[in-house]
């Protein structure tokens, strides 16, 4: 397993493996203004040192059984394409789902391919009953991904985005373990 703290998952085109320090430079490189603008807690610049710290945070959550930090990688080359994360919330039966792809890999259907697989792993490996996701109200691509795997809209709220130091309106979706759809 090498750097993996949990078994990797595969789709036709992608490998979802535990984030590792070898991903720090690519994570920093791929965190561009067009990606960061949709992410509440991924500021710019996002340096390799910040990426290394973020990676260790997710590895600690995995060791504690409270999170899955997936490096989204090309199955053939292992090139890092983005991240997907599932973290247990205060209510231990609930989790939150986050994800992003680097600009060159957007619009290829990768998120629709990997989201159901990542969510299924969250339900199984973290023993969750419900997983939530949220996005800024203009992020129609994220809502399409959420809806494709069976997530249903549950509300909206202003969310503080530390990456930009401001409140932003977001919509929230959730899916229960038995309602997960394969995109």
Does a structural domain hold residue 178?
A: no
Give the model's pLDDT for residue 76.
97
Residue ranges, the chain, pLDDT below 50: 1
Give the model's pLDDT for residue 2.
60
pTM score, whole prediction = 0.95
Domain of 17 in residue numbering reads as 9-129
24-53: buried (b, 16+ CB within 10 Å) or exposed (e) per residue? Answer: bebbbebbeeebbebbbebbeebeeebbbe
Does an H or E element contain 163, and which? none
**Which tokens hold the place of 45?**
């610049």
Question: Are 54 and 100 spatial neighbours (Cβ–Cβ below 8 Å)?
Answer: no
Give the CATH number, domain containing residue 106: 3.40.630.30
Give the model's pLDDT for residue 115.
97
Total domains, the chain:
1
**87-115 residue pLDDT tens:** 999 999 999 999 999 999 999 999 999 99
97: left (phi over 0), alpha (psi -120 to 50) or beta: beta
Does a structural domain hold residue 164?
A: no
Give the model's pLDDT for residue 102.
98
- Strands 130-136 vs 94-101: parallel, antiparallel or unpaired: parallel
Nearest to 17 by CA among 74, 89, 99, 61: 74
Give the model's pLDDT for residue 1.
45
Helix (H, G, I), strand (E, B) or coil at 136: strand
Question: What phi and psi values does residue 137 have, to the nearest 5 degrees?
Answer: -60, -20
Does a structural domain hold residue 3?
A: no
Does a structural domain hold residue 116?
A: yes
């Amino acid at each position: 397993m090498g750097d993996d703290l949990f078994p990797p998952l595969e789709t036709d085109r992608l490998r979802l493996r535990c984030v590792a320090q070898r991903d720090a430079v690519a994570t920093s490189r791929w965190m561009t203004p067009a990606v960061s603008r949709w992410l509440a807690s991924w500021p710019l610049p996002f340096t390799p040192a910040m990426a290394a710290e973020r990676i260790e945070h997710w590895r600690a959550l995995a060791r504690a059984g409270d999170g899955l930090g997936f490096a989204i990688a090309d199955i053939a080359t292992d090139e890092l394409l983005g991240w997907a994360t599932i973290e247990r919330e205060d209510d231990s039966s609930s989790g939150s789902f986050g994800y992003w792809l680097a600009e060159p890999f957007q619009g290829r259907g990768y998120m629709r391919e990997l989201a159901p697989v990542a969510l299924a792993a969250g339900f199984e490996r973290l023993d969750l009953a419900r997983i939530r996701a949220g996005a800024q109200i203009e992020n129609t691509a994220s809502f399409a991904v959420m809806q494709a795997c069976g997530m249903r809209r549950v509300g909206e709220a202003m969310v503080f985005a530390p990456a930009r130091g401001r409140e932003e309106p977001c919509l929230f979706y959730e899916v229960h373990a038995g309602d997960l759809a394969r995109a």
